[in-house]
Chains A and B, each alone.
Chain A
């Protein structure tokens, strides 16, 4: 039951903070959207209140007072050619245009979304039938189709409304279908089927709520357009019929008087302009809030180098000062990398120090969120900024501090002296270039030699990573290769410029066990042949035994234990390390009871005062939570961050 409690407290914190900004707050942060919202609400309010406002009858003619200019007594905006009050006609006309636009949008959205959601959910023949008929509708020029429909039905406001609704059905059908197709294949729809729900039930209770944002986005972006189209049809005399006022017909009538009474055409034109701008500003803002792609911030382009705390930004003469340790090729000291998200600071890497000796292989082990990947990315300034920032610490590579080094310096090292191998090469390789070209590009970036030589070197690299038929495979695109082959290409790219250090971030996690064994063997052999240093990130102690000389275990952004791989695995000193090794079923020990670690790791934006593992630890005591626990060296090359070790108890 204590497990329940820890889970509970953790989630409560998480739920309250990470999802801080509501849609409404995000909407309000965009000033243009607020302007749009103001304009639209003002227009809507005035239109709604039109019958209550002290306005003269918009259709009452008074030929004696025709074509009065604006600001005339009794007629604030003047009169038209029949002496009707312009202000009254504009307000009543806006009311008509707005309601026609909105009703047409609603009709189009209901019918179009229904088409789209059904086509997307059922797929196959029905999808083909529905979407091809939609395509036929789209094959006609847009306004022409509306004209043809009105011509067939006869002029009139209602007929114009239907025409415009029909013309806009395809937009909804297509947008909604696109999302419905992807949603209909997702697991939760399958789960609904397993729940015994009927098709119609799944369509309306499971699928519809998930395509709703798209429908709303499409509505918000089409309303303005629909109002323009209504105005267009009325302008041509096919929409609102005299004497009824609507913005389009007023514009049409005013056009004839443009020389003698310019206000008569200009005013309705201005109203249309402002109204549509307001609607579009609001629509864009709504889209920004509702569109999941925009929401996740993927459209914010990260900087080419991780931001560094201004105090650490290196001045040229200071670069050489940090003395390099002769025994290490890379020395990281008290590195802190934080993420600033809204009002929260996520301490992803929180005071990490380590040392990489030439030719050795150092493993970083931890669960997701432990900071192991961010540590690796910080080394070459590859943590996305915003929101990442290197807060403090130093990264010494051959006597040079890379924290605060210029982008140019880093770019000379990246892919050259220090290279990366990532988990899934499918996401890191460019899908539009052949793998051969991509390896060649890595070579060209850092070497000056002839195209012929580069090609030879590229083929040689592919052979070194044991890709059969290297010449042919070089012409393959990433998706044409299997996962194992793609990872070999990834390794070939990392090796291309004879690096000193390779940083491999879970390079075999996505691979099948037999392929993993092949790739691990390859990495091991290449490393030993070339005397490379390897920084190997993984969550699997089995893999650590296979490739690593030393290992450090991370938890909640901190190193909790470090030592030789053998010592750490055979006699772990930190309770977390021990539990992490024990909670995994081990092959060949079928009757091993697996002891789960209770609860969850703390969120790194809400770390406890003392030891981050304390509330999951069997040995925890009061003092664990009162103070920061320092990392203690128990013997040369072995250190542990645990109060029982620092007090000499074990």
Chain B
């Protein structure tokens, strides 16, 4: 069962912006920094982190909406940057994406039928009749009535729009779907509907998910393996249960204790001092050091990498908890 479907090796993505008018001073922002990750078939891998941690940039690189400036991404053993135009269709049909904002990801001037037919027309060799049948089938899969097909996106609520976005992503029978904050724009009761739908589809269609989210409770609920990102790096990585029960990186620990839980009034949570440093002026050592309660001199000078001890999860910290 442990078949590797996706692997990221030392992936970096740097954005260069010019600050002055004539482009003299260059500002380099390392949105994603030395990321290694392996995804096995059938898994749901969660990537969590706060805004600006690079999780969305990572997601975009996995689906080839963006390219790493360094490192390689392999999907089914094939290096993404070497995919030629002819093979693109095949890749696109195997790896799909679901957007955070369901409404803005649907073209406001197309009917739902047109929206769902587009991937079928471009990614499959279906005939017109086959496409029409598949569109009906997709609507049933995501629990929407086929009558909705002739309507426009603005006539749907957020939850329904996200179902349509999910239907589009599964249209061409993908093997892996990258979900970028798929439920964070939705109301909580609708969020649960969509999460359950995703779970159901995964089992029925044998999918692999990469689930990007800032909501730790949601990630804990749906993922098998979790990677915690901070300022472009994976700081902790491991199986969900162990990571959530016994986090080893101080950042994960604080992150988890910051989540308010109904019925609990936390009087003295460890709390995180300050705000993350600007991504353009990163500390030379551990990126978390300026805010870390346990930081020592060594953390200021050296960058810790993910350790590899027997005790899962793996943490990028010199003094894991």
Say if A and B assemble together: yes
User: A residues touching B (Cβ–Cβ < 8 Å)?
Assistant: 3-4, 7-8, 11, 14-15, 19, 186-188, 190-197, 201, 206, 209-210, 212, 367-368, 468, 482-485, 512-518, 520-521, 539-546, 566, 569-570, 579-581, 583-588, 590, 592, 594-598, 600-601
Asked if A19 and B196 sit within 8 Å, CB to CB, the answer is no
What would be 12 A-B contacts, judged by CB atoms less than 8 Å apart? A7-B144, A19-B154, A188-B108, A191-B99, A191-B106, A194-B65, A544-B262, A545-B263, A570-B263, A580-B188, A583-B188, A586-B217
Known contacts A368-B187, A586-B262: A11-B51 contact under CB 8 Å: no
Asked if B261 and A594 sit within 8 Å, CB to CB, the answer is no
Chain B neighbourhood of A514, CB < 8 A: 50, 254-255, 258, 271-272
Asked if B187 and A517 sit within 8 Å, CB to CB, the answer is no
Known contacts A11-B148, A191-B168: A581-B262 contact under CB 8 Å: yes
B5 adjacent to chain A (CB < 8 Å): no
Chain B neighbourhood of A544, CB < 8 A: 262
A475 CB to nearest chain B CB (Å): 18
Chain A neighbourhood of B214, CB < 8 A: 512-513
Known contacts A3-B143, A195-B123: A585-B220 contact under CB 8 Å: yes
Most chain B CB neighbours (cut-off 10 Å) among A190, A196, A212:
A196
**A201 vs B219: C-alpha distance in the bound complex, in angstroms?**
37
A447 CB to nearest chain B CB (Å): 31
Question: Which residue of B has the minimal Cβ distance to A481?
Answer: B275
B101 adjacent to chain A (CB < 8 Å): yes
**A539 vs B187: C-alpha distance in the bound complex, in angstroms?**
8
B93 adjacent to chain A (CB < 8 Å): yes
Chain A neighbourhood of B263, CB < 8 A: 541, 545, 566, 569-570
Contact of A196 among B99, B101, B123, B156 (CB under 8 A): B123
Nearest 10 pairs of A and B residues by beta carbon:
A542-B260, A596-B192, A585-B221, A541-B262, A512-B50, A583-B192, A187-B105, A517-B258, A196-B122, A596-B193
Asked if B145 and A4 sit within 8 Å, CB to CB, the answer is yes
Residues B28-85 near A (CB distance < 8 A): 50-51, 63, 65
A179 CB to nearest chain B CB (Å): 13
A327 CB to nearest chain B CB (Å): 24
Residues B91-105 near A (CB distance < 8 A): 92-93, 96-97, 99, 101, 104-105
**A193 vs B66: C-alpha distance in the bound complex, in angstroms?**
11
The proximity string for B residues 182-201 relative to A, scoring 1 for CB distances below 8 Å and 0 otherwise, is 00000111111101100000
Known contacts A187-B101, A193-B65, A539-B188: A484-B275 contact under CB 8 Å: yes
B140 CB to nearest chain A CB (Å): 9
Asked if B65 and A513 sit within 8 Å, CB to CB, the answer is no
B264 adjacent to chain A (CB < 8 Å): yes
Question: Which residue of B has the minimal Cβ distance to A482?
Answer: B275
The proximity string for B residues 159-183 relative to A, scoring 1 for CB distances below 8 Å and 0 otherwise, is 1100001001000000000000000
Contact of A15 among B155, B196, B244 (CB under 8 A): B155
Asked if A518 and B272 sit within 8 Å, CB to CB, the answer is yes
**A520 vs B190: C-alpha distance in the bound complex, in angstroms?**
26
Question: Which residue of B has the minimal Cβ distance to A576?
Answer: B189
Chain A neighbourhood of B157, CB < 8 A: 11, 14, 600
Not counting A570-B263, A588-B220, A598-B193, a sample of 18 additional A-B residue pairs whose C-beta atoms are within 8 angstroms of each other reads: A3-B143, A4-B145, A186-B104, A190-B97, A196-B93, A196-B123, A209-B109, A513-B214, A514-B255, A517-B269, A583-B191, A584-B192, A584-B217, A585-B217, A595-B192, A596-B193, A597-B192, A601-B189
Asked if B221 and A594 sit within 8 Å, CB to CB, the answer is yes
Chain B neighbourhood of A209, CB < 8 A: 107, 109-110
B49 CB to nearest chain A CB (Å): 9
Most chain A CB neighbours (cut-off 10 Å) among B191, B260, B264:
B260
Most chain B CB neighbours (cut-off 10 Å) among A468, A566, A597:
A597
B294 CB to nearest chain A CB (Å): 16
Chain A neighbourhood of B105, CB < 8 A: 187-188, 190-191
**A592 vs B195: C-alpha distance in the bound complex, in angstroms?**
13
Question: Which residue of B has the minimal Cβ distance to A616?
Answer: B189
Residues B118-151 near A (CB distance < 8 A): 118-119, 122-123, 143-145, 147-148, 151
Asked if A11 and B192 sit within 8 Å, CB to CB, the answer is no
B321 adjacent to chain A (CB < 8 Å): no
Contact of B196 among A210, A483, A594 (CB under 8 A): A594
Asked if B266 and A546 sit within 8 Å, CB to CB, the answer is yes
A200 CB to nearest chain B CB (Å): 13
**A179 vs B138: C-alpha distance in the bound complex, in angstroms?**
33
A4 CB to nearest chain B CB (Å): 6
Chain A neighbourhood of B249, CB < 8 A: none
The proximity string for B residues 237-257 relative to A, scoring 1 for CB distances below 8 Å and 0 otherwise, is 000110010000000001110
**A485 vs B275: C-alpha distance in the bound complex, in angstroms?**
9
Asked if A517 and B271 sit within 8 Å, CB to CB, the answer is yes
B306 adjacent to chain A (CB < 8 Å): no
The proximity string for B residues 216-246 relative to A, scoring 1 for CB distances below 8 Å and 0 otherwise, is 1110111000000000000000001100100
Asked if A195 and B106 sit within 8 Å, CB to CB, the answer is no
Question: Which residue of B has the minimal Cβ distance to A10?
Answer: B157
User: B residues touching A (Cβ–Cβ < 8 Å)?
Assistant: 50-51, 63, 65, 88-89, 92-93, 96-97, 99, 101, 104-110, 118-119, 122-123, 143-145, 147-148, 151, 154-157, 159-160, 165, 168, 187-193, 195-196, 214-218, 220-222, 240-241, 244, 254-256, 258-266, 269, 271-272, 274-275
Known contacts A513-B258, A515-B275, A545-B264: A590-B118 contact under CB 8 Å: no
Question: Which residue of A has the minimal Cβ distance to B117?
Answer: A195
**A193 vs B187: C-alpha distance in the bound complex, in angstroms?**
28
Asked if B147 and A8 sit within 8 Å, CB to CB, the answer is yes
**A598 vs B191: C-alpha distance in the bound complex, in angstroms?**
11
Known contacts A545-B263, A585-B195, A588-B244: A188-B145 contact under CB 8 Å: no
B143 CB to nearest chain A CB (Å): 6
Asked if B260 and A517 sit within 8 Å, CB to CB, the answer is yes
Most chain A CB neighbours (cut-off 10 Å) among B88, B151, B190, B262:
B262
B159 CB to nearest chain A CB (Å): 7
Question: Which residue of A has the minimal Cβ distance to B52?
Answer: A512
Chain B neighbourhood of A566, CB < 8 A: 263
Chain A neighbourhood of B192, CB < 8 A: 583-584, 594-597
Chain B neighbourhood of A195, CB < 8 A: 92, 118-119, 122-123, 168
Contact of A542 among B119, B196, B255, B259 (CB under 8 A): B259
A211 CB to nearest chain B CB (Å): 10
**A192 vs B266: C-alpha distance in the bound complex, in angstroms?**
46
Question: Which residue of B has the minimal Cβ distance to A538?
Answer: B260
**A518 vs B269: C-alpha distance in the bound complex, in angstroms?**
10
Known contacts A191-B105, A597-B189: A587-B220 contact under CB 8 Å: yes
Asked if B272 and A543 sit within 8 Å, CB to CB, the answer is no
**A541 vs B65: C-alpha distance in the bound complex, in angstroms?**
37
Asked if B155 and A590 sit within 8 Å, CB to CB, the answer is no
Question: Which residue of A has the minimal Cβ distance to B193?
Answer: A596
**A336 vs B160: C-alpha distance in the bound complex, in angstroms?**
30
B138 CB to nearest chain A CB (Å): 14
Chain B neighbourhood of A520, CB < 8 A: 260
**A521 vs B106: C-alpha distance in the bound complex, in angstroms?**
39
Question: Which residue of B has the minimal Cβ distance to A581?
Answer: B262
Chain B neighbourhood of A468, CB < 8 A: 274
B258 CB to nearest chain A CB (Å): 4
A194 CB to nearest chain B CB (Å): 5
Question: Which residue of A has the minimal Cβ distance to B120?
Answer: A195
Chain A neighbourhood of B156, CB < 8 A: 11
**A438 vs B46: C-alpha distance in the bound complex, in angstroms?**
41
Chain B neighbourhood of A516, CB < 8 A: 258, 260
**A195 vs B171: C-alpha distance in the bound complex, in angstroms?**
10
Asked if B96 and A367 sit within 8 Å, CB to CB, the answer is no
Chain A neighbourhood of B107, CB < 8 A: 188, 191-192, 206, 209-210
Known contacts A585-B220, A594-B192, A600-B190: A188-B272 contact under CB 8 Å: no
**A15 vs B217: C-alpha distance in the bound complex, in angstroms?**
34
Contact of A587 among B50, B109, B259 (CB under 8 A): B259
A585 CB to nearest chain B CB (Å): 4
Known contacts A11-B157, A482-B275, A590-B240: A196-B104 contact under CB 8 Å: no
